[in-house]
Amino acid sequence: MKYKYSYQELRLISITLKELVLKMLNSAGSGHTGGALGMSDVFAVLYGNVANITPQNATLKRRDYIFLSNGHICPILYATLSYFHFIEEEELYTLRKLHSKLQGHPHVGSIRGVENSGGPLGQGISQAVGLAAALKRDKRNNQVYCIVGDGECEEGQVWESLLFAHKEELDNLIIIVDRNHIQIDGTTDDVLKFDNLAQKFTSFGCDITQIDGNNVEHIQLALEHARSRRGKPHVIIANTIPGCGVSFMENDYKWHGKAPNDEELQVALEELGKIKNK
C-alpha cells in the first residue's frame, strides 16, 4: 500500500506535534503532558497515513472514526487536528480558557474531528463499540479506532464493552491501548497492578498485537495487520514512554497531569529541536 508520508516524515511530524503540545500546555498553565507526548507517534501515523479522516470528509458518513476514550490526553488530539488543518494553530493557545472550544476534555460539536465527549473514563470505548456494531449491522466499511489509557483499563466499563464487542464480532474495531505505566497517583503497578494485560484482552475475545508505541514503523505495520483481521475486535497494546522526547519528563508519573512552566518549556523545546535536526 502506498502511503502519503515516509517513516522519516512521520517521525518529524511526531516531533512537531510534541512541540505544539508543550506550547499549548504552557499557555494554558495546566493539563496533561506525559500521555500526550507519549502518544504523538501513534497520532502521527493514524492521522497521517492510516485512517480515512480529513477536514473535507470529517462530517461525511464515509469517514473512519477515531474515539479518544482517555480524554485527558486531548492536547495531542488538538495538536494533530491543527497539524492536519482541521483547525488553525492559533486556536491551540485557547486551551482550557473560558469559552474556548478546546477544553481539558474534548466535547462533541466543538471542532471537526472530535467524535466523542471525554471525561469519565471507560465511556469512550463503550461509544466506539456501539458505533462499530451499528456500522457492521448496516454493512458499512468504515473503520472505528479507539484510544484507551492503561490506567483507564481499571474501569469495569471497559471490559463490559469488550464482552459485547466479542459477541458482535466487531472486526471493524481497533483499540489502541496507551501502555505507559503511569496514572495521576503513581505507576499502574502501584495503583492497581495488571499481571498480564495482553492475556486479559485475549480472554475477552480480542486479537492482540504488542508494539513499541514510539516507533512509527511498528505502529504502521500493526495498524495494517489489525485492519486485515476478521471475526474479532483487535487490540494494539502500544508500549509508550510518557513524556517521550523530553528527558526530565520521561517515565515520571508527576508529569501525567502537569504543564511545563516557561523555563521547562524552553529546555524541552531545545531537546526536541536537537532530535529533529539529527
CATH number of residue 269's parent domain: 3.40.50.970
pLDDT, mean of residues 49-76: 96
Least confident of 8-22, 25-39, 192-206: 192-206
Ordered DSSP codes for 82-129: HHTTSS-GGGGGGTT-TT-S--SS--TTSSTT--S--SSTTHHHHHHH
- 1 inside domain: no
pLDDT digits (tens, 9 = 90+) for 102-154: 999 999 999 999 999 998 898 999 999 999 999 999 999 999 999 999 999 99
Contact 121, 149 (CB under 8 A): yes
Q: DSSP secondary-structure letter at 210?
A: E
Round to the nearest angstrom and report the end-to-end CA distance of the chain.
28
- 90 inside domain: yes
What does the alpha-carbon distance between residue 209 and residue 146 come to, in Å, rounded to a whole number?
15
Give me the pLDDT at residue 85, please: 97
- 103 inside domain: yes
pLDDT, mean of residues 176-194: 91
Residues 6+ apart with CB under 8 A from 238: 39, 42, 176, 177, 178, 179, 211, 212, 213, 219, 222
pLDDT digits (tens, 9 = 90+) for 22-42: 999 999 999 999 999 999 999
How many domains, the chain? Answer: 1
Place of cell 503532558: 33
Structural domain for 272, as ranges: 7-276
Give me the pLDDT at residue 2, please: 78
The three cell numbers of residue 256 are: 501525567
User: What does DSSP say about strands 173-179 and 182-183: parallel, antiparallel, or unpaired?
Assistant: unpaired
- 167 inside domain: yes
By C-alpha distance, which of 37, 20, 6 is closest to 255?
37
User: What does DSSP say about strands 186-187 and 182-183: parallel, antiparallel, or unpaired?
Assistant: antiparallel
pLDDT, mean of residues 13-28: 98
What does the alpha-carbon distance between residue 40 and residue 86 come to, in Å, rounded to a whole number?
17
pLDDT, mean of residues 71-96: 97
Read off the pLDDT band of 68 (50, 70, 90).
Answer: very high
The count of other CB atoms within 10 Å of the CB of residue 211 is: 22
Average pLDDT in the chain: 96
What does the alpha-carbon distance between residue 35 and residue 92 come to, in Å, rounded to a whole number?
17
Torsion sign, CA atoms 248, 254, 256, 258: negative
What does the alpha-carbon distance between residue 26 and residue 92 come to, in Å, rounded to a whole number?
11
Give me the pLDDT at residue 278, please: 78
Ordered DSSP codes for 241-274: -TTTT-TTTTT-GGGTT----HHHHHHHHHHHHH
- 2 inside domain: no
Read off the pLDDT band of 76 (50, 70, 90).
Answer: very high
Q: From the CA atom positions of the chain, what is the Rg in Å?
A: 17
Give me the pLDDT at residue 1, please: 66
Question: Phi and psi at residue 153, in whole multiples of 5°?
Answer: -70, 0
pLDDT, mean of residues 189-209: 92
pLDDT digits (tens, 9 = 90+) for 218-264: 999 999 999 999 999 999 999 999 999 999 999 999 999 999 999 99
- 161 inside domain: yes
What does the alpha-carbon distance between residue 213 and residue 219 come to, in Å, rounded to a whole number?
6
Helix (H, G, I), strand (E, B) or coil at 146: strand
- 261 inside domain: yes
Between helices 216-228 and 7-28, what is the axis angle to 10°?
100
- Four-CA torsion 137, 162, 66, 181, nearest 10 degrees: -170
